[in-house]
Structure 1
C-alpha cells in the first residue's frame, strides 16, 4: 500500500454511536486517500486496529458503507472501493450511514408519505408538457421490461418527473435524495423479480389518475404501489439476513 494511503486515526469520538462514527471516519478516509475505484481496501483487521475498535464494530461500519454501494465485499478476496460511482449525494451521506434494516424501512415510510403527496399534488397541478414527460418515462418502463437496468432508470425518471409536475421544488430534491438512499435495495429488488410487468402496471395506474387529474385516485394508486415496494424490499432484506446467519 502506498505511503500516501497510510491509515489515519479512525477512532470514533466519545459519546457517539461507535459503528456510525467509525463508518463516517472510514468514509472520510476513502474520500481523501489515493484509492481509486476498484482498488482494494486495507483488511478488516487493519481498519479495526486503526480505529481502535473490535473487528465486529468495523464489520458493521463496512456493512453500512456497503448498503450505500460505496464499497464491495468480495468473500474470500477482500473489500474494494466500488468500481462505479455512488449516487449518494454529499448532503445525505449522514443519513445514509444510518441505513440498515429498520432505518431503511423508516426511509421507505417517509418516502411513501412524500410520494402520495406528490401524486395527489401533481394530479391537481400538472400541465400537458409535464404529463408527456411522465408518459415518455412510463413508455420507457414498458419497453424495457426485459432490461432491468434500463427499467430502473425509467422508473426513477418517472417518479422525478411527477415530482416536478407537482410544482414544489422541495418534493423533487427530497425524493432525489431518497432515491439515492434506497438505490442498493431497489436494484436488488429488481434483480430478484422474475416479472417486471406488475411494476409497470402499478405505475400505469398512477399515471392514468394523474392524467385524469383525479387527485384522490392518484394518491390511492401511489399508496398501493409504495406498499408493494416496501413488501418487495423487506423480502430482499429478510433473504439477506437469513443467508448471513
Structure 2
C-alpha cells in the first residue's frame, strides 16, 4: 500500500520518538542501527526512516556522516540556541528591550554565581578581566572578552538554561556591535564594573553581585541612549 504524505509524517514522528528514547540511554558517539535495519525493525519505508533521521538531526540528537551512519551526538543545546538567535534577528525588538532581557536574567545569574561558583570559574573570570584590561577598546578582542565574561557568569550560576539563553544573545550583540557603530559602552567603566562583579562573586555575596551586575547593565543602557541622541 502506498503511504500518503500525512501517513509518512505520522510514521516518521513515531519512529523519531522511539529512536529518541533509545538515544537518551546511549553514549555519545555510539552508532545506531543502519537504515536497512531500522526499516525492518519499524516495518516502514526508507523514506520514513530518512525523515525520522532528519528530525533527530534537527533536534541535535544525532549526526550522520557518509560511511559511518548515524551516531549519538553530544547534546549541548546548540540547535535551540541557533533557533533563538534567529528569532532575535527577525524580531522588531530594540537594543533597549534586549537589555531589559539581560537585566532580568543576568542580575540573578550573578547572584547565583556568587553562591555556586567554583575556584576554577573564579580564575577564568579573572583571566577574562585581564584580557579585557589589556585589549584595545575598539578591537574585537575587547568585545569577545566582555561577552565571554558574561557567559562565564552564566556557567558559574550552575544553571545550564542560563548559558543556553545567553549564548545566542551574546552572538546577536557581537554581530550588532560589529556591523554597527562599534562597542556601545565606555570601555574604562566596563573594565571597572567587570572587576567589581568578579570581586562580588568571589566574595560569595549574592546581594553585592546582584547590585554590581545591575549597575553595569543599566549604565550600558544609559550610555547607549546618549549615543543615539547625539
CA distance in 2, matches of 1:185, 1:161: 21
CA distance in 2, matches of 1:209, 1:125: 12
The TM-score normalised by the length of structure 2 is 0.59
Distance apart, 1:150 and its partner CA: 0.7
**Unaligned stretches of 5+ residues in structure 1:** 1-87, 240-245
Instruction: Tell me, yes or no, if the aligned pair for 2:138 and 2:183 is still in contact at 8 Å.
Output: no
TM-score of the pair, normalised by structure 1:
0.55
Counterpart of 2:154 in structure 1 is 163
Name which of 191, 195, 216 aligns with 1:225: 216
Residues 89, 180 of structure 1: 8 Å contact kept = no
Counterpart Cα distance in 2 of 1:200 and 1:172: 22
Alpha-carbon offset, residue 208 of structure 1: 0.6
| 8 Å contact kept, 1:145–1:196 | no
Unaligned runs of 5+ in 2: 1-80
Q: Does 1:151 align with 2:103?
A: no
Which residue, out of 191, 207, 214, partners 2:198? 207
Residue pairs, 1:10-29, within 5 angstroms: none
1:120 maps to 2:103: no
Residue correspondences, number:
149
1:236 to 1:182, Cα distance in 2 relative to 1, 3 A: farther
Superposed CA RMSD = 2.2
Tell me if structure 2 keeps the 8 A contact 1:148–1:190.
no
CA–CA distance in 1 between the matches of 2:112 and 2:181?
A: 28
Contact 1:138/1:158, CA 8 A, preserved across alignment: yes
> Post-superposition, which runs of at least 4 consecutive aligned residues in structure 1 deviate over 6 A?
none
Q: Which of the two has higher C-alpha Rg?
A: 2
Instruction: Describe the SS at the equivalent of 2:161.
Output: helix
How far is the alpha carbon of 1:198 from its aligned partner? 1.4
Evaluate the alpha carbon distance shift between residue 92 and residue 191 of structure 1 in structure 2; reply closer, same or farther with a 3 A threshold.
closer
CA distance in structure 1 between the partners assigned to 2:149 and 2:88 by the alignment: 24
Q: Relative to structure 1, is the Cα distance of residues 191 and 104 closer, same or farther in structure 2, using a 3 angstrom cutoff? A: closer
Is this contact kept in 1: 2:112–2:157, CA < 8 A? yes
Distance 1:186 1:228 in 2: 17
Shift of 1:214: 0.9
Is the 2:115–2:204 contact (alpha carbons within 8 Å) kept by the matching residues of 1?
yes
Pairwise CA distance, 1:237: 3.6
Alpha-carbon separation, structure 1, partners of 2:121 and 2:109 = 13
